[in-house]
Amino acid sequence: MPQIDKFTLESHYDSLGISTISIMPDTSRPKATVQFIHGLCGCKERFIPAMEYLCSHGFACIAHDHRGHGESIFAPEDIGYMYKGGWKSLTDDMKTVSEWALSKNPGIPIIMIGHSMGALATKVFIRDNGLMLSGAVLCGLPSYSPFAPIGKLMTDGMCKAGAGKLHISLLQEITSGIYNIRFRKEGHQAWTCSDPNERERFRANPVCNFKMTASCASCVTGLMLQAYSPVKTQTCNPSLEIMLLSGEDDPCSGSPAKLQKTAARMAAEGYGNVHCRTYPSKRHELLNGQGFTGVLDDIIRFMSPIVSDSLSLRQKFTYMNENTLNMHNKEEYPPMHTAEHILNATMVKMFGCPRSRNAHIERKKSKCDYILNQCPTPQQVCEIENAVNRIIENALDVTAELMPRAEAESIADLGKLPEHASDTLRIVRIGDYDTCACIGAHVNNTSEIGKFTILSHDYTDGRWRVRWKVLA
C-alpha cells in the first residue's frame, strides 16, 4: 500500500494553511500527476481510494481541502466558512497546489479531476490557468441554475452585513430536496449515490456534510456564474484535453442531452478537445461507491494519450529556438513581473539580502518575501519605493538573450534555479541595474511599468513580507 503524505501549503491569498495529501507511486518518474478537487461539504480524504487505485497504475496523486473545508481552517468553528475572496481565493488555492505538484515532479503533466462544485472550480481554473495543465476531467459538473444570480446577490449581502458565518440550512435543504425528488423513497441525499453504505460513510464523516454558510453559498454561486458567464469563459488553452463525466441519473449535472449541451458550449468557448461519457444507473457520485474503479479505468484510458506524448503541451513551451529552456507554467502580467525584478535588485543592493524566495505576482497586487536581520524602518521602506520608481522613470531597456549556464553563472545569481534547470538559460537584463535568469514575460522598457507603490508590509521571524502594486 503506497504511503500517504500529509502536509500544509500556505495560501497566497491570505496565508491560510491548505491541508494537502499526496500519494506517490513506486517509480522515479510518474506517468502524470493527478490533482483531485473535491465538492461542496466534502474533503480530501474522500478521494483516497481513487488516489490509491491511480497510484497503483503509476500516477502521482494529490488532493487538498478547500478553504473552510476539512482541515483548511483557521479554527474548528470555521467549518463551512470560506473566508474572504470568494471563488477567486478558492481557485488561487488550487493554483498553489498545482505549483507545488510542478515543483515536486518537474516535467510531468498535471491532469485535474474535479467533482461537483470541484468541477465548477476546475472549469474556472482551466479558463484562467489552463496552460498549467495537460488535461481536465469534470465529474458531475452542475448545470447552470437561473437562480444563481439571485443567490449570489443575497449571500453577498449577508456577507457584507457580517453574516458570512451564518449557516443557511434552508437553502441547502431546498436544493438537495429538489435533487432528491426522484429518489426520496430511498432516503436523505439518495440523489448523490445509489449505494446506501457510501451515503452513510459520507454522513458519518465529521468534517463532511456540514450546513452551508452564507460565505460558502456566495462562493458556489460565484463559481457557477464564472463557469457559465458568456463574457468571461474564453479559454487560454484551446488544445487542452477535457473529459465530461456524468451519471445518467444525476439530477445535478442533468441528462445526457444537457451534458452534450455543456460540451457544445465549451467548444464555443474555444476548447477543441472535449469528450463526454455518461454512466447508466449512476447518479452524482462517480469516484466513490460501487463501480468507481470502472470510472477510473475510463479516466486512465483518457489520460493515456496525454501521458504517452513525451512532449505534453506544457513541456513544449520548454523547447524554443532549438534550445532547451526551463519549464515555465505561469502567465505573468509583464509590468508587475519586471517591477519584481527591479524590487529584487533594489533589496539586494540596499540590504545585501538574497532575492525574494517566495513571490506571488498578480495583475492587481503582488507580494514578495525577503530574509532580513531586522524589519526595515519606515524611512527605509520609503527609500525602497523611491529607488524602484527611479529605475522605472529612467526608461531602461529590458532585454533577453540565451546563453550557456556556465557563462550565465558569471553574471547572474542562479541560486533560485531548480535542480532540473537546463544547460541553456534565458538571461533578462534591465539596463545595467539587474541581470537575472528568467523565462517569463516582461515589458520592453521600464517606462511601460507605471508607478510602484508599497501597500503594506510585516516582519515575522526574520522574514519581511512586502505587498505592492503598480499603477499605470
Q: What angle is formed at CA 198 by the lines to CA 194 and CA 204, rounded to 5 degrees?
A: 135
Query: Looking at 106-110, 372-376, 428-432, 447-451, which range is the least confident one?
Result: 106-110
C-alpha cell at 228: 457559465
- Work out the pLDDT band at 320, boundaries 50, 70, 90: very low
Res 425: pLDDT = 79
Per DSSP, what are the bridge partners of residue 235? none
The average pLDDT across 189-216 equals 87
Q: Specify which residues 468 forms β-bridges with.
A: 366, 454
Helix (H) or strand (E) holding 268: helix 256-268
Sheet of 60-64: strand order equals 4-10, 17-23, 60-64, 33-37, 110-115, 135-139, 241-247, 273-279
Mean pLDDT of 182-191: 89
What separation in angstroms does the CA of 319 have from each of 225, 289, 328, 416, 442? 37, 43, 11, 21, 19
pTM equals: 0.68
- Tens of pLDDT, residues 381-415: 999 999 999 999 999 999 888 788 778 888 887 77
Average pLDDT over residues 215-242: 86
Would you state the pLDDT for residue 470?
Answer: 95
Is the pLDDT at 204 greater than 90? The verdict is no
Where residue 232 falls among pLDDT bands split at 50, 70, 90? low
Per-residue pLDDT averaged across 343-355, rounded? 95
Strand 323-324 relative to strand 4-10: parallel, antiparallel, unpaired? Answer: unpaired
Domains and CATH numbers, the chain: 4-316 (3.40.50.1820), 324-471 (3.30.980.10)
* C-beta neighbour count of 58 within 10 angstroms: 15
Q: What is the pLDDT of residue 325?
A: 42
- By mean pLDDT, which of 89-93, 345-349, 442-446 is the weakest? 442-446
pLDDT grade for 319, boundaries at 50, 70 and 90: very low
Q: Are 62 and 105 in contact (CB under 8 A)?
A: no
Highest mean pLDDT among 82-86, 105-109, 231-235, 463-467: 463-467
C-alpha cell at 176: 438537495
pLDDT at 184 over 50: yes
133 has a pLDDT exceeding 80: yes
Mean pLDDT for the stretch of residues 179-193: 89
